[in-house]
Structure 1
Amino acid sequence: MASVAIIGSCDTKLQELLFLRDRVEETAGVKTILIDVGRDPCVHDAITISQAELLSKYVNGKDSSISDLTRGEFVTLMSECASQAVRKLYHQGLIDGIISAGGSNGTSLSAAVMRDVFPVGFPKLIVSTMASGDTRPVVGETDITLMHSVVDVAGLNPILRDILSNAGASIANAALSYATRRDRKTKDAAEEATSMKKWRVGITMFGVTTPGVDAIRSHLESNYPVETYVFHAVGTGGRAMERLIREGQLDAVIDLTTTEICDHLVGGVLSAGEGRLDAAVETGLPNIVSLGALDMVNFGPRNTMPEKHEGRVIYEHNPTITLLRTSPDECREIGAFIARKLSKTKRPDMIEVWIPKGGVSMIAVPGGPFENEEADKALFDAVKSGLSGSGIKIVEDERHVNDGGFAKDIAEALVAKLGLQNN
């Protein structure tokens, strides 16, 4: 058996939500919990958790009156209430998937609930009119699945019926799969207690650091009880890794590719935000940090590059990505950012910083388009001076970041921190 929570505004979408509920329950072994997050109260036998119940139980001492709230304020309040309700259901093991259907407000509300409450791997699906645009604010660093409604979720018609039917079947079967996996994980956890643990290691990668990451991954998985999780350092990748660390889904990190910091500080399009590097430091995980792809800031197609950067070293990575070579001043700021973040650790023995002096990316090596000794020196010096006295070990290596020997040695540095015996 599996249970799917359906979250939506019953005051305006009841007909569509009931149709969706029926489609979910067409899958044998699946039941539903309908949660009303509408602005106006709605009474119907199919509603499991009403709007009134959410407001009465979960406002945490705030005034539960919503009549004077703006639309944005209401969405924020109701998402907080709904988050508490579904978190309780999740921790009690009473739901195995969640789905919603609606427009911009419904999407914003339900996405906030899904991002706030559920870990990566829990089935989350939103049927939305907003699914064909910029979906980063909706999905964030999670695995929310978006299905474009094509027509508005405003009255049933053949197109919307087909889409809601697909969505209902999708979340129902995902929930059944999740319920089965959850039971299996419980059994596997009991068996793991008497067997060899597999260490979960996160690694950050970019196109220009792929050979190095592949070599690290191969070495670790071939020689040790390790499984690797590779994160594409495009903003969402870094945020996803930070989230998984906090969720306890990673045991260690090789942060080979810290390039998202460049975009955060210089204004590129692939920033992971101010919180990059924080999670591993806060949790004290074994953490090997390197300077992969700190030679570049990412922008879109060439014609989207800000005019202020014209005249600098620019490299067209592909038709949709244009790279700007970081300057010495920018590298100095990037290095200081890394040092400031890492210096906050209470476990300096768990962190090492590896400096690949032969090149921080495959295009920053001698003779490459982004070769720049002055910028590299500014970066390396800023890291070293910023970490002076921190107790964090710094390894200066003459090889480049994709060198096979460098990859093996950086992997072995993590192995040592994990306490694994060298094969």
Structure 2
Amino acid sequence: MSPTKAGRAPVILLIGTVDTKSDEMAFLRESVEHLGGSALVMDVGVLGRGGFTPDILNSEVAAAAGVTLQQVMDTGDENTAMKLMATGASLIATQWYVEGRFDGLLALGGTMGTDLALDVANALPLGCPKVVLSTIAYSPLIPPDRIPPDLIMRLWAGGLYGLNRLCKAALGQAAGAVVGACQARAAEADPRPVIGMTSLGSSALSYMKKFKPALEVRGYELAVFHTTGMGGRAFEDLARRGYFAAVMDFSLQELVNDLAGSCVSAGSERLLGAGRAGVPQIVAPGATDMVDFAAWTRCPEPFIGRSVHEHNRLIASVCIDPEMRRHVARAIADRLEQATGPTCLLLPMGGVEQWDRPGEPLHDPEGLKAFTDEMGHVVSPQTVFQPVDAHINDEAFAQAALRVFDGWVAAGLVPPGVVDVTEERKAA
């Protein structure tokens, strides 16, 4: 068994309603122990006591939310009651994880338990193993912005009421998933500063192929995030927590999706995490000329008649009109103005993604001109603004970004890279 922290076996925080699911929670605890881990059980039920005494009582969960358990019950509304318990459970879980009391989360529930579990999982940092065993796993009832980007979810088949062979299989596999995730081999120590970059695959935006070797030779590690919703959320979370030495946020298509109400969204906080944390950011408006939608559905009503690119059977993109492109430019400028750290906006005048080149399905010179004209008028003076006479996938764009980056390193705004990684690792 691979130890986790301080040579001990994985400790799993189990969350569920012990009052109504005592047998299931007890089986989960036994499953974790059978796999060599140990479990802390948090009871988030409000109907009474279950068949065993949990490690964290439901009264303690309520107290963490600033109320008594009786006050929770007196609300007379199950939705209000569960929101209060979700608040308390999230606060306790966050504090206990910071204190190193557990290594991973496993939550169990139907719609009520899943609703609470998503709040707790979102409160924990990226990288903490999180498994939710739910009767509504992958259901359209769950909005994308409620799903943590690193969540493992499994269907709780046949487990709504009482134990049976199907339920036990689901419980046991969920326990194996979280214990295994906690036992997974940790990444090797690497002294190189990490640069966070966003991109939309490698066909629409291919610049990372130029940046990866250029940054590595400078002594940095590059982490590229796929901006299809969850990728942007993970990127924002890590930027906000100061994980990156700097960011190259060159794919802002999730921002456009959010403005248009698309399901392919990273939420309303996109393009704010790094800036608010003071992380140096070089930004470019990659893929801001289109809105994504599920390819197996109809094109969204407001965009019917506009050019469409069907990337595959899952995702398609529709070109937005010039007026919306001006709206996007204003939104970008507004978010960059809120930054507290060094910020540079590079504006590729020749286009913002591969499918907008001449002859490609989303080529729209009128829309590009509307965007670049508006961008030039609305950028705040505190944002360094550099138009680049090139397409975003051209070598000239990459060189322009690297010149800004190198200047920031020389000025001490970005920590220097570590070129001789092998020697640094030996020293560590």
TM-score calculated relative to the size of structure 2: 0.87
Q: Is the 8 A contact 2:207 2:393 kept in 1?
A: yes
TM-superposed deviation, 1:140:
2.4
Inter-CA distance 166–226: structure 2 relative to 1 (3 Å threshold): same
Listed as ranges, the matches of 1:177-326 within 5 Å are: 177=184, 181=186, 197-207=191-201, 208-221=203-216, 223-301=217-295, 304-326=298-320
TM-superposed deviation, 1:100:
1.5
Greater helix proportion: 1
Which of residues 363, 378, 382 is equivalent to 1:386? Answer: 378
1:398 maps to which residue?
389
Inter-CA distance 130–305: structure 2 relative to 1 (3 Å threshold): same
Q: Is the 8 A contact 1:216 1:408 kept in 2?
A: no
Residue deviations 1:211-230 (CA, integer Å, cap 9, x gap): 21222123212x12211221
- Pairing 1:102–2:96 present: no
* CA distance in structure 1 between the aligned counterparts of 2:368 and 2:106, rounded to whole angstroms: 48
Report the 3-state secondary structure (helix = DSSP H, G, I; strand = E; otherwise coil) of the residue aligned with 1:133: coil
Residue deviations 1:57-79 (CA, integer Å, cap 9, x gap): 31326785122321111111001
Inter-CA distance 331–417: structure 2 relative to 1 (3 Å threshold): same
TM-superposed deviation, 1:398:
1.7
Which of residues 74, 79, 86 is equivalent to 1:72? Answer: 79
Q: Is the 8 A contact 2:13 2:39 kept in 1?
A: yes
> Which contiguous aligned blocks of 4+ residues in structure 1 show a shift greater than 4 angstroms?
43-46, 61-64, 135-139
- Counterpart amino acid of 2:210? A
Residue deviations 1:343-386 (CA, integer Å, cap 9, x gap): 22344xx1111111121110112332222222111111222211
1:17 maps to which residue?
25
TM-superposed deviation, 1:44:
4.8
Report the 3-state secondary structure (helix = DSSP H, G, I; strand = E; otherwise coil) of the residue aligned with 2:74: coil
Q: Is the 8 A contact 1:359 1:366 kept in 2?
A: no
2:422 maps to which residue?
none
* CA distance in structure 1 between the aligned counterparts of 2:296 and 2:61, rounded to whole angstroms: 49
Listed as ranges, the matches of 1:398-417 within 5 Å are: 398-417=389-408
TM-superposed deviation, 1:87:
2.2
Residue deviations 1:95-140 (CA, integer Å, cap 9, x gap): 0111122211111112211211x11111111111111423554852
Q: Is the 8 A contact 1:123 1:174 kept in 2?
A: yes
TM-score calculated relative to the size of structure 1: 0.88
Q: Is the 8 A contact 1:107 1:138 kept in 2?
A: no
* CA distance in structure 2 between the aligned counterparts of 1:166 and 1:72, rounded to whole angstroms: 29
Q: Is the 8 A contact 2:21 2:50 kept in 1?
A: no
Q: Which moved more, 1:298-307 or 1:4-13?
A: 298-307
- Counterpart amino acid of 2:26? L
- Pairing 1:39–2:34 present: no
Q: What 5-or-longer segments of structure 1 have no aligned partner?
A: none
Report the 3-state secondary structure (helix = DSSP H, G, I; strand = E; otherwise coil) of the residue aligned with 1:291: strand
Inter-CA distance 92–391: structure 2 relative to 1 (3 Å threshold): closer
* CA distance in structure 1 between the aligned counterparts of 2:376 and 2:307, rounded to whole angstroms: 26
- Pairing 1:158–2:165 present: yes
Q: Which moved more, 1:354-363 or 1:298-307?
A: 298-307
- Report % sequence identity: 29
Report the 3-state secondary structure (helix = DSSP H, G, I; strand = E; otherwise coil) of the residue aligned with 2:150: coil
Q: What 5-or-longer segments of structure 2 have no aligned partner?
A: 1-7, 411-415, 420-428
Inter-CA distance 53–269: structure 2 relative to 1 (3 Å threshold): closer
Q: Is the 8 A contact 1:354 1:396 kept in 2?
A: yes
